[in-house]
Copies of this chain bind each other. A is one copy, B any other.
Amino acid sequence: MSSSIHGAGPPDGGSGAAASGRERVLDVATRLFAALGYDGTSTRLIAEAAGLNVATVAYHAGGKRELYLAVMERAHRLEQEALAGALAAFTPDAAGVRALVDGYLDFCVAHPQVPALWMHRWLSDAADVADLEARYARPLIDTIIAAIGPAVPAGVDVEYAVMTVIWVTHGFGAGGLPAAGGERRRLDDPAEVARFRAHLHQLVERMLGL
């Protein structure tokens, strides 16, 4: 009976309005889920961070699980669009691969929650999360493989090569380089990003023999 609430739902289709209502809930939830994980984030915390009541969050999101899946879905779609844009100008040579890798790193810098969300999903065994992976992550990987295939010489495992770039980029984006004092150097430090970018360039070039 209560699930009809989501069906009638927020009519805020136009993205012109300021972040309010469901949009604000989604934004706050994205940040919290990325930082604390699913189990570590409570609906009350989301509500408090959004300046709303617990019931209002449930009203807009339909429930914690639905909210989490909506957050993941939006993040994946964002990533998908960024990749599509980068692939539109792709050429199967060294420069093209470098631009593609650069684009993905830029995307992670612009949307720092994505690597963390992906990593949390990575550690989950839930069925609905696996479904999300089959519908978004796997096609994304396949798209990249199909595109860069012509630029990769024989003898290289293209699938694991793509996964290598993703794993390394997400490792840096979500965790960063652990420094001596216990702090981390990651996406919010431009100098560190530049250093990692140089490493990533060299890594991809040598891995693919370009």
Q: Which residue of B lies closest to A167 (CB)?
A: B171
Least CB separation from A122: chain B residue: B175
The A contact surface, by secondary structure, is: helix
Surface stretch bound by B, among A11-19, A51-59, A82-90, A194-202: A194-202
In the complex, chain B residues whose CB is within 8 Å of the CB of A151: none
Contact status of A134 and B171, CB under 8 A, knowing A196-B160, A199-B160: no
In the complex, chain B residues whose CB is within 8 Å of the CB of A137? 178
| A37 contact from B39, B116, B195, Cβ within 8 A | B39
Copies of this chain, count? 2
Q: Report Cα–Cα, A39/B40, bound state, in Å.
A: 6
User: How many residues of A are counted as interface, with CB atoms below 8 angstroms from the partner's CB atoms?
Assistant: 51
Q: Is A183 an interface residue (CB 8 A)?
A: yes
- Interface positions of A (Cβ within 8 A of B): 35-40, 116, 119-120, 122-123, 125, 130-131, 133-134, 137-138, 141, 155-157, 159-161, 163-164, 166-168, 170-172, 174-175, 177-183, 195-196, 198-199, 202-203, 206-207, 209
Interchain residue pairs with CB less than 8 A apart (29): A37-B39, A37-B123, A38-B40, A119-B119, A122-B174, A122-B175, A123-B175, A130-B182, A131-B182, A134-B178, A134-B180, A138-B180, A155-B202, A156-B202, A157-B195, A157-B199, A160-B177, A160-B196, A163-B171, A163-B172, A163-B177, A164-B164, A164-B199, A164-B203, A167-B167, A167-B171, A170-B171, A202-B207, A203-B207
